[in-house]
Amino acid sequence: MLTVDDLTVAYGQSEVLHGLSLSAAKAEIVAVMGRNGMGKTTLMKSLIGILPARGGRIRLGEAELVGTEPHQRVREGLAFVPQGRMIFPTLTVEENIRTGLVARGRRHIPDDIYSLFPVLHEMRRRRGGNLSGGQQQQLAIARALVAEPRVLLLDEPTEGIQPSIIKDMARSLREIRDMMNLTILVSEQVLSFALDVADRFLVIENGRLVHEDRRADVNEARISAYLSV
């Protein structure tokens, strides 16, 4: 579904991703693990098109995305939940979700979004900024889902979320994947969350993928060693 070949990304003279290749199959959940500063956010931003690729290819199904604008990528079926969630704090929950509908030219929020996240229905008239971190994360995911993506990119979704909520988040992402046949690429540093949510684990170190495991035979100790300083 998503195929990345030899992706190179740089900030000015400083190359941060050095020829990275990965793929995620339909309805697969892939976790990209790595410490701070290893290139996870850079990868996510280049996939959605906020950062240009210096070289390489990014394909969604048959469509080549390198060189296209973020809104075109969203129309092709990519959605992005950024690190820190970036919801609109002064807009209501409902207005926040509506901003995601623009991509498909729709006006009505589908009922299944509120069935997935009942708390957002309860709070639909509240301002986004008044929600808890976990509720804001649900809002950011809901906003992404109403664009009807085929591939959802999530950048460090557990950041700033209470440990008790993190388990629920993993369960709910797997439910969403099952319901919508959605491919999910999630960057993470929290190993327990990645183990709960992902089918496959990649480790990024200094802009290169250095390790890969499948869920069935995951080497927790090895990944954990990569994540500790």
Among 4, 38, 60, 78, interactor with ligand ATP by CB under 6 A:
38
Q: Considering the complex, state which of residue 117 and residue 201 has its C-beta at the smaller distance from ligand ATP.
A: 201
Task: Choose between 90 and 228: whose C-beta lies nearer to ligand ATP.
Answer: 228
Contact flag: residue 47 with ligand ATP (CB under 6 A): no
Task: Tell how strand 208-214 and strand 200-205 pair up.
Answer: antiparallel
Question: Smallest gap, in angstroms, from Cβ of residue 90 to ligand ATP?
Answer: 25
Least distance CB 92 / ligand ATP (angstroms): 29
Rounded to whole angstroms, how far apart are CA atoms 150 and 134?
23
In whole angstroms, the minimum distance from the beta carbon of 167 to ligand ATP comes to 21
Length of the chain: 229
Of 6, 21, 25, 37, the one binding ligand ATP (CB under 6 A) is: 37
Dihedral in degrees, nearest 10, Cα atoms 84, 116, 131, 73: 30
Is 46 a binding residue for ligand ATP by CB under 6 A? The answer is no
Using alpha carbons, select from 43, 53, 33, 123 the residue that is nearest to residue 87.
123
Phi/psi at 135 (nearest 5 deg)?
Answer: -70, -35
Q: Which is nearer to ligand ATP, 9 or 24 (CB)?
A: 9
Contacts to ligand ATP from residues 116-175, by CB under 6 A: 156
Give the x/- contact pattern for ligand ATP in 64-93, rule: CB under 6 A: -------------------x----------
Classify strands 2-11 and 55-60 as parallel, antiparallel or unpaired. antiparallel
Q: Are 140 and 133 contacting, i.e. CB atoms less than 8 angstroms apart?
A: no
Q: Which of 24, 28, 33, 42 binds ligand ATP (CB under 6 A)?
A: 42
C-beta of 116: minimal distance to ligand ATP in Å?
27
Q: In the range 12-31, which residues lie near ligand ATP by CB under 6 A? A: 14, 16
Number of residues that bind ligand ATP (CB under 6 A): 13
Report the alpha-carbon distance of residue 93 to residue 118 in Å, rounded: 12
Residue 203 to residue 212: CA distance in whole angstroms: 6
Out of 2, 33, 40, 157, name the contact with ligand ATP by CB under 6 A: 40
Q: Show contacts of 117-122: CB within 8 Å, 24+ apart.
A: 117/141, 117/142, 117/172, 120/93
The binding site for ligand ATP (CB under 6 A) comprises 11, 14, 16, 34, 36-42, 83, 156
